[in-house]
Amino acid sequence: MTNKDWPLWEIFIRSKQGLNHKHVGSLRAADAEMAVENARDVYTRRSEGISIWVIESNNIHASDSSDADMLFEPSNTKVYRHPTFYDVPDGISHM
Amino acid sequence: MKVLNTEELNRKFQEKIDNDIKIEPNDWMPDAYRQTLIRQISQHAHSEVVRMLPEGNWITRAPNLRRKAVLLAKVQDEAGHGLYLYSATETLGADREDTIDDLHSGKAKYSSIFNYPTLSWADMGAIGWLVDGAAIMNQVPLCRCSYGPYARAMVRVCKEESFHQRQGFEIMMKLANGTPEQKDMAQDALNRFWWPALMMFGPSDDDSPNSQQSMKWKIKRFSNDDLRQQFVDATVAQAALIGLTIPDTDLKFDKASGHYIFGEINWNEFYEVVKGNGPCNKERINARRKAKENGLWVREAAMAFSAKRAIKKSA
Amino acid sequence: MTKNEALFNYTLRLGDDSLILGQRLAEWCGHGPILEEDIAITNISLDLIGQATNLLNYAALIENKDRNADNIAFLRLEKEYCNILLVEQLNGDFGDTMMRQFLFDAFRKPLFEMLQFSKDKQLAAIAEKSLKETKYHLKHSSEWIIRLGDGTEESHQRVQNSLTNLWRYTDELFFTDESDTILSGLGIIPDFSKIKEVWYANVTAVFEQATLQIPANNWQFEGGRKGRHSEHMGYLLAELQYMQRAYPNMEW
């Protein structure tokens, strides 16, 4: 894992006045401005949105209740079990 | 919190799938399911990105302004599809850049057809018509696959893909109804892309060991041979409509089954191309690798700037 | 020179700038520094090709000699293209491309802002539509100039070189001749000196944030507007025109 990789952002689009923002996917960006612009280019190419929210994926706190009674490990913190959400100190290889 | 053993977890998991309940990122899943999906989805993503090269090839040489604009929009869509798909692999815990590095090192595969060269404007038509046509056959059933993010990505992709196929067919139709040189160009493109398009569906499922499990997990909905047959049946009729000839002397309609019988596919060619020995494999991978290498200073600069600004903000 | 001749020249220049720059940006397809940026660049290219189509269609209408946007775009001789030299320069690295883009966008935004009030209704309409796109292009390119200028040592060096090399093509943005004098007199186009003021204020502000220096040597090139291009133009046109030259008089 390299720190030069841009962080992952989750994208939410409100396609019409009166509707909620809907999660449409994710993308990589170096900062919030770029994330919004990239989201506009990727997710509103066919004018599918009038409002864009971007959130760095590791800032989302999640609770997935569906499997709550099935799990033997808690997973109600991050949206994905993603390696880059967990900071590994420099000098540790093979991780 | 009840603790279940692996057997029960697997059983409940399969039950969900059998009942068409979607599996979402944080749900328990067998590791093999996760790994198979990562491989399948990233392969699909890599294909969308690599194909920007044979098609992007012709943007600067498009024959008029409208065709130039439409091709630009199409290739942009493909980049977008790659993005939706990489986004789906991220939900499985696979880092996008890692999967891309696997592509560049030859570890990861992508659709074999993009290792063929685009030699004429008509190839833009052939690719849209045949390649996107084949892709749609594969993708529409995947809109109902078991993994939520992948199914949702496929719905987005399919909406856009039908425009691509129509554009491709429209190009071929225009050429086939044009001057003798244009008709020649179209026929030549069909001759070169027909067999690679059939190979796109992959080998017969008897030779494909993972197919059974994938179908059980509903990440594969139809067999390779079924999809290939569907494609042939649809496309032969379309070719006839515009007066082009499918380059297969063994092709004939079988009244009994209601399907077209077609000739032997050169599986040796398929395996060689997949192995890396196709006409353009090296160029494609080199171009993608160079793009990433040449872009390193840019990506680093953006991160450095972002870090500087974060410091300024908190000061 | 008649008003229509002047208007034809003017529209052709704007159209050629859009066409040639759109063509250049299309070369990035599949080679961008990251997938998201590939999409951004091709998006800008698409907008520019759209603008070129509108402008060259209008030029053909004004000329009234039975040409259309495609004949004009694909079948002229090199010396008949009147884009500025800036837009035909090679893409170079990402910094070169963004610098070229920024210098150009910073000009087109005030231009379209003023042109939407043109006494010529069609030109005003084209300007109004193009302005929305241009605002976005400018936001994108200026943010990149700042990121690269104030990023790492390497990015700063590279984009400073880009600025030093491209600055000599900027005066031509404001080139005016008889056509412009006639049209501004008639309220059809804005006064170029006003555009230059806004442009200069904007670029200097962005360069300051980006910690970049405008070269001390203000030696400038021109020629594009008069059809005297750089060595790159021949190759660019060979690619652009290939299909129409190899397969003349066919429909696509």
pLDDT digits (tens, 9 = 90+) for C143-159: 999 999 999 999 999 99
In chain B, the residue whose alpha carbon lies closest to the alpha carbon of C50 is B69
Where do the H-state alpha helices sit in chain B?
A: 6-18, 31-50, 52-56, 65-90, 96-105, 122-126, 132-142, 148-176, 180-199, 211-216, 224-241, 267-272, 281-294, 296-314
Q: Where is average pLDDT lowest: A68-72, B173-177, B234-238, C209-213? A: A68-72
Tallying the residues shown for chain A, one arrives at 95
Above 90 in pLDDT, residue A45?
no
Using CA atoms, how far apart are residues C68 and B185, in angstroms rounded to an integer?
26
pLDDT tens, C86-145?
999 999 999 999 999 999 999 999 999 999 999 999 999 999 999 999 999 999 999 999
Q: Give the residues across from B23 on adjacent strands.
A: B147
Answer yes or no: is A39 within a domain.
yes
User: Can you tell me whether residue B11 is helix, strand or coil?
Assistant: helix
Q: How far apart are CA C95 and CA B46, in angstroms?
A: 26
What's the pLDDT at A1?
Answer: 35
Query: What's chain C's average pLDDT?
Result: 97
DSSP conformation class of A10:
E
CATH number at residue A24: 3.10.20.520
The two tokens of residue B248 are 């297969």
CA distance C139 to chain A (A): 9
Give me the sign of the Cα torsion angle B198, B201, B206, B207. Answer: positive
Q: Chain B within 8 Å of C238 (Cβ-Cβ)? A: no
Does residue A74 lie within any of the structural domains? no
Mean pLDDT, range A14-26, rounded to an integer? 91
pLDDT at C7 over 60: yes
pLDDT value at residue A93 = 45
Element of type H or E holding A14: strand A8-14
Do A79 and A60 meet the contact criterion of CB atoms below 8 Å apart?
yes
Asked if B179 lies within 8 A of C53 by C-beta distance, the reply is no
- How many CB atoms within 10 Å of residue B10? 15
Interface of B with C in 65-94 (CB under 8 A): 65-69, 72-73, 75-76, 79-80, 82-83, 86
Give dist(CA B100, CA C28) in Å, integer: 19
What are the pLDDT digits (tens) for C47-71? 999 999 999 999 999 999 999 999 9
Q: Indicate whether A73 belongs to any domain.
A: no
Residue of A6, A30, A42 lying closest to C39 (CB–CB): A42
- Specify if A27 maps to a domain: yes
Q: B65: which strand partners? A: none
Chain C, window 48-107: residues with a beta carbon less than 8 angstroms from a chain B beta carbon? 49-50, 52-53, 56, 69-70, 73-74, 93-95
Residue A41 lies inside a defined structural domain of this protein: yes
What residues of chain B lie within 8 A of the CB of A73, using their CB?
A: none
On whether residue A9 sits in a domain, the answer given is: yes
Reading chain B (315 residues) residue by residue, the pLDDT tens digits are: 456 788 999 999 999 999 999 999 989 999 999 999 999 999 999 999 999 999 999 999 999 999 999 999 999 999 999 999 999 999 999 999 999 999 999 999 999 999 999 999 999 999 999 999 999 998 999 999 999 999 999 999 998 888 899 999 999 999 999 999 999 999 999 999 999 999 999 998 876 677 889 999 999 989 999 999 999 999 999 999 999 999 999 999 999 999 999 999 999 999 999 999 999 999 999 999 999 999 999 999 999 999 999 888 887
Contact status, residue A10 vs residue A23, Cβ threshold 8 Å:
yes
CA distance B55 to B124: 7
Tell me which of B77, B101, B181, B305 to substitute to probe the interface with C (most C C-beta atoms closer than 10 Å): B305
ipTM of model? 0.97
Would residue A14 count as lying in a domain?
A: yes
Residue A71 lies in a domain: no
Which chain A residue shows the shortest CA-CA distance from C43? A41
Give the neighbor-by-neighbor strand order of the sheet with A8-14.
A22-28, A8-14, A51-56
Q: Domain of residue A18: give its range.
A: 3-62
Domain count, chain A: 1
Identify from B59, B67, B179, B185 which residue to disrupt to test chain C contact, counting C C-beta atoms within 10 A and taking the largest count.
B59
Residue C1: Cβ within 10 Å count: 12
The Cα B264–Cα B259 span in angstroms is 16
Chain C residue with minimum CA distance to A42: C39
Q: Which two tokens stand for residue A67?
A: 């499997």
Long-range contacts of C50-53 (CB under 8 A, 24+ apart): C50/B69, C50/C133, C51/C14, C51/C15, C51/C18, C51/C22, C51/C126, C51/C130, C51/C133, C52/B65, C52/C15, C52/C16, C52/C18, C52/C19, C52/C22, C53/B65, C53/B66, C53/B69
Nearest to B70 by CA among B84, B78, B80, B59: B59
Model's pTM, two decimal places?
Answer: 0.94
Contact B135, B227 (CB under 8 A): no
